[in-house]
Amino acid sequence: MHDGAALQGKTIVVTGASSGIGLATAELLAQRGANVVLAARRTDRIAALASVLRDGGARATAITVDVSDADSVQALVDESVRSFGGIDAFVSNAGVARLARLEDGDAADWNAMVDVNLRGLLHGLTAVLPVFRRQGHGHVVAVVSTSGIKISPTMGVYAATKNAARTVMEALRAESTDGVVRTTEISPGFVRTELADGMDEVSREQIQAGMRAFGLDPVAVARAVCFALEQPHDVEIGSLTIRPTIQD
Ligand SMILES: NC(=O)c1ccc[n+]([C@@H]2O[C@H](COP(=O)([O-])OP(=O)(O)OC[C@H]3O[C@@H](n4cnc5c(N)ncnc54)[C@H](OP(=O)(O)O)[C@@H]3O)[C@@H](O)[C@H]2O)c1
């Protein structure tokens, strides 16, 4: 069940919309009547998806962004406001996972995860919170991970960046009790996406085997994002975890 009208005409920016959870979220938001801004680095993919969504009757646009670059995220927010007159929600979903045992870790991989998973969220907040303040309303949804709840070998730094993002979201919640900004952090478990593609061969095979065996369809997370966004303004869904039922 969902409130069919709640997202109608709302403008929602989704980072990491070129694949996986972000793509499924953008599609579902468009189906439910939202204006969608699809943001990611792979321009060809988001442009093609925005075109499909427009063909289906939605208002959708693609904006290339690298969330690790503050200026790029500021430009994403500025262009979204120019195109749609405001932003009702910002879904900070872009993420990378480079898994390794700490003794085998690579500083470039650690930096990439900090830059995208943590700094990417901060760049989004810096750009969008002034817009929310001016409008008098806005909603930030951050996709974090159950890997920060149950810490497994090789996932230490990835989980650390996700838990840092969770902490930032809790701080934002605590600073937002004047009713302007709503916050939601969503922790998926295993979801079948492209997340493992950038991993080394050993991790990739292990994670992809898990995704194939019991990973959720990304639309399961997309539904949770919509559930949080569809609540009336006085209701804040703070935190959700979504695991495959058989995940430990
Ligand atoms: N799949 C899972 O099992 C799982 C579980 C828990 C949490 N998560 C989280 O869910 C989120 C989405 O991941 P996914 O599983 O859907 O994986 P995915 O299919 O690999 O999607 C990741 C998205 O992030 C984008 N991205 C990566 N670096 C970026 C950057 N610097 N700037 C802008 N966009 C960037 C990618 O687009 P471009 O490459 O086109 O930029 C892509 O659209 C991530 O935050 C991930 O950590 C996933």
* Whole-number pLDDT of residue 99: 96
**Residue with token string 């959870």:** 21
Task: Look up 199 and say whether it is catalytic.
Answer: no
Residue pair 14/212 in contact (Cβ under 8 Å)? The answer is no
* 209 Cα to the center of ligand 1, angstroms: 18
Question: Which of 143, 155, 221 best tests ligand 1's pocket when mutated (most atoms within 8 Å of CB)?
Answer: 143
Quote the CA–CA distance of 145 and 21 in Å, as a whole number: 12
Residue pair 153/178 in contact (Cβ under 8 Å)? The answer is no
Residue pair 60/53 in contact (Cβ under 8 Å)? The answer is yes
DSSP for residue 72: H
Whole-structure pTM value: 0.98
Ranges of residues in the chain with a pLDDT under 70 are 1-4
Q: Which atom of ligand 1 is nearest to the CA of 97?
A: 47
Residue pair 86/11 in contact (Cβ under 8 Å)? The answer is yes
* Whole-number pLDDT of residue 198: 87
- pLDDT tens digits, 168-193: 999 999 999 999 999 999 999 999 99
Strand ranges for 33-100 from DSSP E: 35-40, 60-64, 89-92
DSSP for residue 119: I
Domain covering 11-239 assigned CATH 3.40.50.720 in the classification: yes
Quote the CA–CA distance of 93 and 35 in Å, as a whole number: 17
* Whole-number pLDDT of residue 4: 64
